[in-house]
Amino acid sequence: MSDTPAAPEPFVSRTAPEAVEDLRARLRTTRWPDAPEDAGWSLGTDLGYLRELVTYWADGFDWAAQEAVLARLPRFRTQVGGLGIHFVHARAVAPVGPVLPLVLSHGWPDSFWRYSKVVPLLTDPGAHGADPADAFDVVVPDMPGFGYSDRPTGQPLSSVAVAGLWAELMRGLGYERFGAAGGDMGSHVSRYLALDHPDRVAAVHRTDGGLPVFAGDPATLAPAERAWFAEAATWTATEGAYGAMHRTKPQTVAAALNDSPAGLAAWIVEKLHGWSDGGVGRGYTMDEILTNITIYWLTGTIGSSMRMYHANSKIPAEQLTRRVEVPSGFSLFRGDVVRPPRAWLERTTNAVRVTEPERGGHFAAFEEPELYAQELRDFFRPYRDGGSAA
């Protein structure tokens, strides 16, 4: 097998009308559960909100229009590591000075959708009130098993393996040196790009520090770090049931979610609500939420996306505790979950910049695209020299 990916081919998703009709029919015949009065979001997805969302999905949502919007992005597919990988590749518009290539890695439960708003802000900053010298070439791949990339048929791939694929993808696109950024599992992938390819990654930006893993003496931790460990443990106990299921028995829940679009919506929208700054009512329109969920439904990738948690649970402890020496930046958005203290970030990375934006949550690139884009421009500005394509 060649180490260089095949030449990318332009990609446009086209959904057969019968697939949309099947989806609508399933939505209209949803068998609804009961719920205690006034439960709201306290026990999971709010049933009243879900009914409203599903009704609109069945009879008001225009998938063809949303598919056309996504088609405006320059999208491609290529073979990397024996898998078909779908990605956005948008080049800098009228660049002034050196252009830094940037690979953006998404997390769960999303896909390239996470960055769909931010791509034009990064490639053409001059058209959006920013400095044209801050333009990037932007690459946004769907991870294997997500979106329009292939689903691995064997063992699921971990964040370490995906980082290797992205290094190969960037080389195939002509980029020997580049920046890496991401959140959620995309933060892990970006971290391993920096760890395993430090000669190629100019700098790495993340919106979280992951859940804490520490093999040293707890007495050496700063008070803020110990408090954060306790906070993370509490969050895992009260909010982490989904992750335990994904890590241990993903196929069990996949059978339900791949068969019921209402169930799929409940599984995903609860995370959009709980992890966002102000919930789904503030950061998203119903069309935006349903675009994300419809991608999962039509591609049948909910099971394969969850299996990546299982793969990540098998990463050896010595990998999880490696220190990142590549210059690292963190934007810890106010509404995100389990935000690490600076002391921990400096312990585990070469943290050269840490900011705390006042708005935005776990999906900040979608919730607050202008703010997220500015965070990336500001962080990567010192690392642009030599960053253009080979």
Active site (catalytic) residues: 184, 309, 362
342: which residues sit within 8 A by CB, 6+ positions away?
224, 351, 354
- Residues 209 and 280: their CA atoms lie apart, in Å, by 24
Residue-by-residue DSSP string for 318-351: HHHTPPEEEEEEEE--TT-SSPPPHHHHHHHEEE
Using CA atoms, how far residue 52 sits from 57, 295, 345, in Å, is 9, 19, 41
**What are the φ and ψ backbone dihedral angles of 204, each rounded to 5 degrees?**
-130, 135
Tokens standing for residue 126: 């001059």
Indicate the DSSP class of residue 134.
G
- Residues 122 and 130: their CA atoms lie apart, in Å, by 9
The residues pairing with 137 across neighbouring beta strands, listed in sequence order, are 101
Phi-psi region of 279 (alpha: psi -120 to 50; beta: other; left: phi over 0): left
- Residues 121 and 128: their CA atoms lie apart, in Å, by 6
Identity of the amino acid at 98: P
Beta carbons of 349 and 323 less than 8 angstroms apart: yes
68: which residues sit within 8 A by CB, 6+ positions away?
none
Spell out where the chain has E strands.
9-10, 75-80, 83-90, 100-105, 136-141, 178-182, 201-206, 324-331, 349-355
Tokens standing for residue 215: 């093999």
Element (H, E) at 311: helix 302-313
- Residues 340 and 332: their CA atoms lie apart, in Å, by 8
Beta carbons of 46 and 39 less than 8 angstroms apart: yes
- Residues 73 and 75: their CA atoms lie apart, in Å, by 6
Spell out where 106-153 has E strands.
136-141
